[in-house]
Amino acid sequence: MTEPSADAVRALFGGAADLVERRVLAGGQTVTVFFLDGLTSGSQIADFVLRPLSRSLVPGTMEELFRQAAGGAVCCASMKRAASAEAVADGLVHGSCAVLFPGLRHALLFETKTGEKRSPAPPESENTVKGAKDAFTETMRTNTSLVRRHLRTPRLRLEAFQVGEAAPASVTLVYLDGRADPERLRRMRGRLGTLRPESLLSPAAVEELVTGSRKTAFPMLEYTERTDKFCQNLLLGRLGLIVDGLPEGFLAPVCLGRLMDSPEDRAVDYVSASCLRVLRYLALLISLLLPAVYTAMALFHQHMLPTKLLLAIIGSKKDVPFPTLLEMLALLAAFELLQEAGLHLPQAIGTAVSIIGGLVVGSAAVEAKLVSPAALIVAASAGVCGFALPNRDLSDAIRIWRFGLTLLGGLFGLPGVTFGFLALLVHLSGLESLGEAYLAPFSAGTAGGAVFRARYQKREDRT
Amino acid sequence: MKHFGFWLSALGCVLVCFLWPARGTDVSELQPAQLLLIERRDGRVTVACDSGARGVGNDLDAALGDMARTAQGRLYLETVDWVLFTPGAEDLISAAAESGKLRPAAGVCLVTQTPEKLPDALAYLNAHPGTDTLARERAAALGGPAAGTPILSVRGERMELLLGVDG
């Protein structure tokens, strides 16, 4: 720890262009003011720090000036003392203005954050027709205020952690006192307290570090950009994490039943919601199994297909030069490539790429007899069903397993698909998120409320 | 040694892939037959299907085997919708029903003479489905109710189904 001197602060920032240094005459002595341009509000610094410093302080020793400033002569809403140059630097990067009193072992940090931040906008990836339209932003305090507005109760707890060594990030653990399981809370606090990463700049970093080095493609921490979903889950006793700089809230523990839950379910009546959920589970199975079952049937079990369907498939495959397995794997890979290309391009170009890639190239490939229409329909149906899943991480994991199951179906037929599916079930049964089984509520034997949404009158939580 | 188990499993997987007894047949290699004509000529059984494959043998199984061997591609009889028997081959109906190589749901029909073009006969029969199937013939042979086998009258290109027609 270095003493909070102007030289030490300058050395820590290494001549950063946005570090502004100002010497001010205060009470007959010269003090140094530091702030980071862009992170702080110039007018606030002028009105609430510089003006009181130069006009309100009564002349005296440096010690007396420090006492006056800390005691309220500088009328800023939030003030902290910093005992080292590192603490001063930390305050500066968090939007404070630092006042250094030469010769003293303490500096003062006044919060003068700029008001420039993104306003809450409607969610982009979790859109619903009904329900709240405010999504998380990149600013921690905006996000915590959004949560407070949805859950106006003093039992809402926010615990702050600093995580990251090279670039520390503020992480807030959010939970409802009395609802959250104390054991889970203890485990989560323990994990956040022992994390020593370089930074937490990406959602994947948060997920991997908080949940441990997971060896699965399935999400172990659920993310949401919807504040209403985040708060509903807090009411259910789950723990929330908000990371400064990330426009998402993270929820733990995670289980399959919850990952298949969509915010739309709570926005519509329970009959419609139940029908939608059945469709969603159907989509999950189709997305995972359809290419594998098609490949297995086309290669090994043609007799299991209805005659007319088989004749149609044989007719469509007649002039295709590639074997069914290769054709299906190539189509799945092409679908993934299209999706990836669409993601990395601006929205307008992405749409064009999807149309050209999906429709034009697809129909041209069928006309050129490079792929059969049946295989194309199967790959496209599986892909579209993947989009029906409410959680993108779950959808990604399903996409990976889909490839494996298709390969097994092509090599060993339906026994291979069955083996792969059982391996997936074994894998999922072995996963645990903060002590909760990943296959819950199905693992409990009674999967009530998992597929069909219960009526609010009958729900215990009624959220 | 640390990854010995992993490499051993990988080797096992590769071996299983290569030594797996079941070898699939790609659906594109199949030569599906939808109509099968069974005749008796000079004391031998002759079979022909709408895809153009033909076979001859001393009995039905041998003829079907011969047709499978000589067909271009892999002949697939699981799609046979109709089995036609020419005059003199009626006694082979029970053999066809019990052979196990044809679908029990395949329709059975007697023809007054060999149709000139089998695909035309297939189109006609698909438009005028009968009631008799190999499964019913087999049931009748085991003591069930007698199946009324329809007769397809063939005069040149004109065809007419005479008995056992739906409706």
Query: Per-residue DSSP letters for A401-440?
Result: HHHHHHHHHHHH-HHHHHHHHHHHHHHHHH-EETTEETTT
The answer to whether B24 contacts A314, with C-beta atoms less than 8 Å apart, is no
Cβ B128 vs Cβ B88: under 8 Å:
no
The helix/strand/coil state of A375 is helix
Closest chain B C-alpha to A306 CA, distance in angstroms: 9
Closest chain B C-alpha to A314 CA, distance in angstroms: 6
Residue A68, pLDDT > 80, answer yes
Q: Are A245 and A305 found together in one domain?
A: no
Burial A359-387 (b: 16+ CB within 10 A, else e): eeebeebbeeebbbbbbbebbebbbebbe
Instruction: Answer whether residue A300 is part of any domain.
Output: yes
Tell me the per-residue pLDDT of B97-156, one tens digit each, with 9 for 90 and over: 888 889 898 988 888 888 878 888 888 888 887 778 888 888 888 887 776 788 888 887
| A320 chain-B contacts, CB cut-off 8 A | 28
Q: Are A250 and A270 found together in one domain?
A: no
Peptide bond into A123 cis (omega under 30): no
Q: Residue A215 contacts by C-beta under 8 Å, 6 or more apart in sequence?
A: none
The answer to whether B24 contacts A318, with C-beta atoms less than 8 Å apart, is no
Scanning every residue of chain B, which has its alpha carbon at the shortest distance from the alpha carbon of A296?
B24
Q: Are A164 and A296 found together in one domain?
A: no
Cβ A207 vs Cβ A126: under 8 Å:
no
Bridge partner list, B152: B111, B161
Q: Are A364 and A407 found together in one domain?
A: yes
Q: Are A337 and A382 found together in one domain?
A: yes
Q: Using 50, 70 and 90 to split pLDDT, how confident is the model at A240?
A: very high
| A411 chain-B contacts, CB cut-off 8 A | 17, 20
Q: Using 50, 70 and 90 to split pLDDT, how confident is the model at B55?
A: very high
Cβ A313 vs Cβ A429: under 8 Å:
no
Which of A225, A254, A283 is where one domain is finished?
A: A254
Short-list A443, A409, A452, CA closest to A425:
A443
Q: Are A193 and A298 found together in one domain?
A: no
Percent of chain B scoring above 90 in pLDDT: 20
The helix/strand/coil state of A240 is strand
Q: Are A175 and A102 found together in one domain?
A: no
- Domain coordinates in residue numbering, chain B: 31-161
Q: Are A341 and A270 found together in one domain?
A: yes
Residue A462, pLDDT > 60, answer no
Q: Using 50, 70 and 90 to split pLDDT, how confident is the model at A128?
A: confident
Instruction: Answer whether residue A403 is part of any domain.
Output: yes
| A413 chain-B contacts, CB cut-off 8 A | 22, 24
The residue among A215, A295, A300, A371 with the most chain B CBs within 10 A of its CB, best to mutate, is A300
Q: Using 50, 70 and 90 to split pLDDT, how confident is the model at A449?
A: low
Q: Are A390 and A321 found together in one domain?
A: yes
Least confident residue range of A97-101, A455-459, B1-5: A455-459
Q: Are A146 and A57 found together in one domain?
A: no
Instruction: Answer whether residue A314 is part of any domain.
Output: yes
| Number of domains chain A is built from | 3
The answer to whether A320 contacts B103, with C-beta atoms less than 8 Å apart, is no
Instruction: Answer whether residue A121 is part of any domain.
Output: no
Instruction: Answer whether residue A118 is part of any domain.
Output: no
Least confident residue range of A73-77, A88-92, B98-102: A73-77
Tell me the per-residue pLDDT of A253-282, one tens digit each, with 9 for 90 and over: 998 888 888 877 877 888 888 898 999 999
What whole-number distance in Å separates Cα of residue B10 and Cα of residue A454?
47
Q: Summarize the confidence of residues A183-207 as an average pLDDT.
A: 79
> Would you say the ipTM is above 0.90?
no
Instruction: Answer whether residue A168 is part of any domain.
Output: yes
What whole-number distance in Å separates Cα of residue A34 and Cα of residue A109?
9
Phi/psi of residue A460, nearest 5 degrees: -70, -40
H or E element: which one contains A387?
helix A373-387
Closest chain A C-alpha to B127 CA, distance in angstroms: 15
Instruction: Answer whether residue A176 is part of any domain.
Output: yes
Scanning every residue of chain A, which has its alpha carbon at the shortest distance from the alpha carbon of B21?
A412
Q: Are A272 and A397 found together in one domain?
A: yes
Residue B166, pLDDT > 50, answer no
Q: Summarize the confidence of residues A286-312 as an average pLDDT.
A: 92
Q: Are A250 and A281 found together in one domain?
A: no
Mean pLDDT, chain A, as a whole number? 86
Q: How far apart are the first and last CA of chain A?
A: 49
Q: Summarize the confidence of residues A103-132 as an average pLDDT.
A: 83
Instruction: Answer whether residue A341 is part of any domain.
Output: yes
- What is the value of pTM for the model shown? 0.78
The answer to whether B26 contacts A302, with C-beta atoms less than 8 Å apart, is no
Burial class (CB within 10 angstroms; exposed 0-12, middle 13-18, buried 19+) of B91: exposed
Short-list A402, A361, A405, CA closest to A383:
A402
What whole-number distance in Å separates Cα of residue B83 and Cα of residue B38?
7
The answer to whether A412 contacts B103, with C-beta atoms less than 8 Å apart, is no
Q: Which domain holds residue A91?
A: 6-111
In the numeric block, which tokens belong to residue B51? Answer: 């895809």
The answer to whether A298 contacts B27, with C-beta atoms less than 8 Å apart, is yes
Percent of chain A scoring above 90 in pLDDT: 30
H or E element: which one contains A52?
helix A51-56
The answer to whether A300 contacts B22, with C-beta atoms less than 8 Å apart, is yes
Residue B167, pLDDT > 50, answer no
Q: Summarize the confidence of residues A320-348 as an average pLDDT.
A: 87
Q: Using 50, 70 and 90 to split pLDDT, how confident is the model at B21?
A: low
Q: Summarize the confidence of residues B47-60 as an average pLDDT.
A: 91
Cβ A296 vs Cβ A410: under 8 Å:
yes
Q: Using 50, 70 and 90 to split pLDDT, how confident is the model at B90?
A: confident
